[in-house]
Chain A
Amino acid sequence: MEVTALSNAKVGSAGVVETIDLPEEVSHHLAHLGFLPGTSVEVLRRAPAGDPRVYRIDGVEVGLRNETAKHIYLRLTSEGEAA
Chain B
Amino acid sequence: MSCHAPVQDLSQEPQFPAPMGPKPLRTVALIGPPNCGKSTLFNRLTGLRQKVANYPGVTVEHHSGRMKAIGRNDLTLIDLPGIYSLATYSEDARVAVEVLTGKMPGVPKPDCVLLVLDATHMNRQLMLAAPVFSIGLPTLVLLNMADQLEARGGKIDTLAMAHALGHPVALISAANGTGLDVIPEFLLRTGSRPDDGSRPVQLPVLQSAASCRNWATQVTARTKYQAPAAALWTRRLDNVLLHRVWGPLIFLAVVIAVFQVVFLAGQPLSDWLTEIMTRAGTQAALLLPDNWLRLMLRDGLWNGVQSVLVFLPQILLLFLFIGILEDSGYLARAALIADRVMRAIGLNGKAFIPLLSAYACAVPAIMATRTIENKRERLATIMIAPFMTCSARLPIYTLIIAAFIPNRLFLGGLIGMRAMTMLGLYLLGFLAAMGTAKLLNSSVMKASTAPFILELPQYRWPTIQGLALRLYDRGKLFLKKAGTIILACTFIVWMLSVLPVHGGHFSELTSSLIGRLGHFIEPVIHPLGFNWKIGIGLLSSIVAREVIVGTLGTLYGMDPATHSLGLQSALRGDMTLGGAVALVVFFAFAMQCTSTLAVVRRETNSWKYPAVQFAYMTVVAYVAALVTNQVISRLF
Contact = CB atoms under 8 A, between A and B. Distances in A.
A63 B337 CA distance: 10
Contacts of B234: 61
Contacts of A22: 451
B451 A26 contact: yes
Interface of A: 22, 25-26, 28-34, 36-37, 45, 47-52, 54, 56, 58-65, 67-68
Nearest to B234: A61
B453 A68 contact: yes
Nearest to A57: B124
Contacts of B332: 63
**Which 3 interchain pairs have the tightest Cβ spacing?**
A31-B209, A32-B84, A49-B340
A60 B228 CA distance: 11
B542 to A, nearest CB: 40
B373 interface: yes
A60 B455 contact: yes
Contacts of B121: 58-60
B452 A48 contact: no
A51 B242 CA distance: 12
In this complex, which of A29, A48, A63, A64 has the most chain B Cβ atoms within 10 angstroms of its Cβ? A48
Contacts of B244: 48
SS of A interface (majority): mixed
Given A31-B209, A47-B242, A47-B339, 19 more contacts: A22-B451, A25-B373, A28-B87, A29-B451, A32-B124, A32-B209, A47-B340, A48-B247, A49-B337, A54-B242, A59-B123, A59-B124, A59-B228, A63-B349, A63-B453, A63-B455, A65-B349, A67-B449, A68-B452
Nearest to A53: B336
Given A52-B336, A63-B336, A65-B349, A32 B454 contact: no
A24 to B, nearest CB: 8
Contacts of B373: 25
B451 A36 contact: no
A59 B230 contact: yes
30 contacts: A28-B85, A28-B89, A29-B451, A30-B453, A31-B210, A31-B213, A32-B84, A34-B124, A37-B210, A45-B242, A47-B336, A47-B337, A47-B339, A48-B243, A49-B337, A52-B336, A52-B454, A59-B121, A59-B123, A59-B228, A60-B121, A60-B455, A61-B234, A61-B455, A62-B453, A63-B332, A63-B453, A63-B456, A64-B454, A65-B349
B455 A62 contact: yes
Contacts of B84: 29, 32-33
Contacts of A67: 449, 451
Contact of B339 (A37, A56, A65): A65
B322 interface: no
Interface in B75-96: 84-85, 87, 89
B334 to A, nearest CB: 11
B525 interface: no
Interface in B86-130: 87, 89, 120-121, 123-124, 127-128
A65 B455 contact: no
B454 A63 contact: yes
A54 B456 contact: yes
B123 A58 contact: yes
Contact of B124 (A25, A49, A50, A60): A60
Contacts of B339: 47, 49, 51-52, 63, 65
